Amino acid sequence: MISDILRRLPDELFLIAGPCVIEDEESPMQIASELKRIKDKLGIPFIFKASYKKANRSRLDSFTGIGDEKGLEVLGRIRSELKVPVLTDVHTAEEAQMAAKYVDVLQIPAFLCRQTELLVAAAKTGKVVNIKKGQFLSPESMRFAVDKVRQSGNNIVWLTERGTMFGYRDLVVDYRAIPTMQSLGCPVIMDGTHALQKPNTPGGVTGGQPELIETICRAAVAAGVDGLFLETHPDPSLAKSDGANMLPLERMEGLLTRLKALYEMVESW
């Protein structure tokens, strides 16, 4: 049933949301349950996301996860108990094979979007492959990443826009990327949280501008995006990864209510 839901996308605006990383064994289920409640109320297709581990932290002492197997088991429980599709990042070919047993969507991190062996391995699992556009790549160049997945026998490929490097410590979103990447025959998703990161800070902890999440998402919906990606946490100040650019969970329902109304107006045009 879950795979059928994913194959029908993007018939309507859909949501990928959840915490950055599995922080413990209890809170991800609580976050997922609240997101499912909002999804049921608003009628928005929803995919829960969380990294079972973070492999690309700035500092050696940064939190990376609760253990691979434990993290994946948490995602598996959310999938089976809440009956929602689940997404997680993978960083190597071996991780793709392992994570595919627990989730529905394998996400290729932006920094790794050109890694051929990883893309091929993710494709061969038969799962949906969501490729984040590298901050260093043009939208046109994502054709080659898409081709690697398709030529490996998997035609269910999504692309996610997450901003382009603008100097050393800022990102900018070029909304021309949405129709450009859609022309490759892929649903395109706007990452409204990572696009507001302030990377490469002297302290080794990424900053952000979460007050602009709604601005980024509104513009993406107006530009015709297929889905939205939002990292959220009950208290971003306590999040163990990327808290500086997260949306507080209590603000999710109001934001989605407004974005759905905007989407329906755009579609009516």
pLDDT along the chain (269 residues), means of 10: 67 94 95 98 96 81 85 97 97 97 97 97 97 97 98 97 92 97 97 87 71 96 97 92 88 98 93
Contact at 8 Å (CB) between 51 and 20?
Answer: yes
Token duo for residue 91: 């960083």
Q: What are phi and psi of 115, to 5 degrees?
A: -75, 105
Q: What are phi and psi of 108, to 5 degrees?
A: -95, 115
Residue 115: how many other CB atoms lie within 10 Å: 18
Residue 205: predicted pLDDT: 62
Cα-based torsion angle of the residue sequence 117, 118, 119, 120 in order, rounded to the nearest 10 degrees: 50
Strand partners, 48: 17, 86
Amino acid at 128: V
Specify the CATH architecture of the domain 2-268: Alpha-Beta Barrel (3.20)
CA–CA separation, 263 and 269 (whole Å): 10
Residue 103: predicted pLDDT: 97
Please state, in angstroms and as integers, the Cα–Cα distance from residue 168 to each residue in 1, 59, 197, 201, following that order.
Answer: 44, 18, 12, 9
Contact at 8 Å (CB) between 37 and 17?
Answer: no
Token duo for residue 97: 């094979």
Do strands 86-89 and 46-49 pair parallel, antiparallel, or not at all (unpaired)?
parallel
Residue among 243, 231, 240 at smallest CA distance from 50: 231
Residue 59: predicted pLDDT: 76
User: Tokens 């197997």 belong to which residue?
Assistant: 69
CA–CA separation, 245 and 253 (whole Å): 18
Residue 210: predicted pLDDT: 86
Rg (CA), the chain: 17
Residue 65: predicted pLDDT: 79
Long-range contacts of 164-173 (CB under 8 A, 24+ apart): 164/135, 164/136, 165/135, 165/136, 168/200, 169/198, 169/199, 169/200, 169/201, 170/198, 171/135, 171/195, 171/196, 171/197, 171/198, 171/199, 173/216, 173/219, 173/220
The 3-state DSSP class for residue 165 equals strand
Residue 254: predicted pLDDT: 98
CA–CA separation, 217 and 81 (whole Å): 30
Q: Give the pTM.
A: 0.94
